Structures are given as structure tokens and as C-alpha cells.
Amino acid sequence: MPPTAFPAPAAQDAFTQATSGRCERMQHDRLSVMAMNHDSLADLPADSRREIVAGVCAALEVKAATAEDLIRSAEPLWDAMERAGGLVDSWGGGEFCHLFPRVLAFIRSGAAGG
């Protein structure tokens, strides 16, 4: 019988026990961040906020509340792209306000098949 690539059951149990604490801590950390209820969109200057909301509404033909939800949700991804070597300007910066609606329009065109 050929050797299996999977660890023996005892090793699997040890791995599960060793990693379960990390997963629980990560879940707790994520929930703690979510519980802060910080409105990142409120951090934008009023003119920038109007500009980005209007741009997303126009690009996707959605209501302002939907646009605001998408904009708020973009902050973690945008921050990660900035940390990854400057792929983008900071969230809420001038580049974000101009580029984000175009990014969403591109995603929508791909999802619509064209």
C-alpha cells in the first residue's frame, strides 16, 4: 500500500488542537474591530465624500446608500493594496475618489459578461 500524504489521526488531532486557539483569537479580533462601528466614510472631507458617492452611483446606477456601503467596504482592500507596495494611493485620497468608481464599473462589466 503506498504511503499516504495525510498525517496519522493522532497528528491531525494535535494540529487541530494547536490551530483552533489561533482561529478563535482571529475571530475575536475581527469581531472586536467590527464592534467599534467606526464610519470610515465620515472621515472623508465633505466634497470628497460627495464626489465618490456620486461617482459610484453613476458608475453602477445604484442609490447613495448602496454606494456608501461599497465605499466603506473598500477600505480594508484598498489599505492592503497600498501596503503591498503602493499599488494604489491611500483610501479616501484623490486617486481613490477617481479610480474606485472605475474599478467597480470594470468589475460589473466583467460580471455581466462583457
Q: Is 80 helix (H, G, I), strand (E, B) or coil?
A: helix
Residue 16 C-alpha cell reads as: 487541530
Question: Are 50 and 59 contacting, i.e. CB atoms less than 8 angstroms apart?
Answer: no
C-alpha span between 100 and 78 (Å, rounded)? 9
Q: Shortest CA distance to 54 belongs to which of 101, 88, 95, 90?
A: 101
Q: Tens of pLDDT along 56-102?
A: 999 999 999 999 999 999 989 888 888 898 788 777 777 888 889 99
* Residue extents of the structural domains in the chain: 44-111
19-58: pLDDT as tens digits: 555 555 555 455 455 545 678 888 888 998 999 999 999 9
Rounded CA separation 69/72 (Å): 5
